[in-house]
Amino acid sequence: MKSEETEALRRAHLFKGLSDDVLQNITGNEPVRLYPKGKILFQQGEEADHFYVILTGWVKLYRQLPSGDEAILHIFTTGDTFAEAAMFGDHKYPATAEIVSESRVLAINCNRFERILRETPNVAMRMLASTSHHLKDLVTEIEQIKGRNSFQRLAYFLVKMCPPNANSAVVKLPYEKSLIASKLAIQPESLSRSLNKMRGLGVKCVNDQIIISDVDALREIAMDDDVEDRDQAQL
């Protein structure tokens, strides 16, 4: 495993503070695999024999609706773990996982991890902390969808992509705009119009890059409870 991949592994909430020996016991001899965009890691309803850690790249988790559409549950990136809760209950994956940009991913055997959970209380506590982190992310996403208009959701998404404390930034979109729109519960055409409206805030879209001249101005829009509903008034 490359040094930067080891660091990504240690950034995962599930593995923070664990000793080298415990970490090695968890990962075993599983190889890091490079997956191309579009690769399906597992399908909804399949037997859950592994969970996953993203060392580089992006993965979407979604459920297939009766209409044939996809309901995106979450999009994970470097340092994230996912599908670990599937080892409990009926041991079935509750959703489908698909690579959305070339990714290096480590699969961890569920049977081995369950044994370690029983033998190592510290790992069990990390599991609870990781579950709490996933729940907090889910609550934040629901809050954004229910409590913010589409313009604010996009602003919040872009601000999160900026480096901490940056005054200005150039953000490379990690995946297609159509997927960003789906993640934010925005129609693709509304996303495009919102990006155009953001020019007045010093935001410019060039291919897959977003140039942000004033991150604080964008953050103010994202977090302002009294901001005008641009979806209705302007778009």
CATH code of the domain covering residue 173: 1.10.10.10
- What is the C-alpha to C-alpha distance for residues 4 and 235, in angstroms, rounded to an integer? 43
- Between residues 155 and 231, the one the model is more confident about: 155
66-104 b/e (C-beta count within 10 Å ≥ 16 → b): eeeebebbbbbbbbbbbbbebbeeeeebebbbbbbbebb
What pTM does this model have? Answer: 0.76
- What is the C-alpha to C-alpha distance for residues 152 and 222, in angstroms, rounded to an integer? 4
Residue range of the domain that includes 86: 3-145
What are φ and ψ of residue 5, in 5° steps?
A: -75, -35
Domain count, the chain: 2
Average confidence (pLDDT) over 158-173: 90
Tell me, yes or no, whether 74 and 9 share the same domain. yes
CB 54: neighbour CB atoms within 10 A? 22
The tokens for 194 are 């919102």
Nearest to 23 by CA among 156, 128, 113: 113
The tokens for 44 are 């909804």
| Mean of pLDDT over the chain | 86
The answer on pLDDT for 34 being more than 90 is yes
Mark which of 123, 145, 167 sits at the end of a domain.
145
Tell me, yes or no, whether 181 and 128 share the same domain. no
The tokens for 19 are 């000793």
Mark which of 145, 173, 204 sits at the end of a domain.
145
The answer on pLDDT for 173 being more than 60 is yes
Helix, strand, coil % over all residues of the chain, rounded to 5? 45, 25, 30
Give residue 225's pLDDT band: very low, low, confident or very high (50, 70, 90): low
CB half-sphere exposure, 227, CA atoms < 13 A: 21
Residues forming a β-bridge with 72: 62
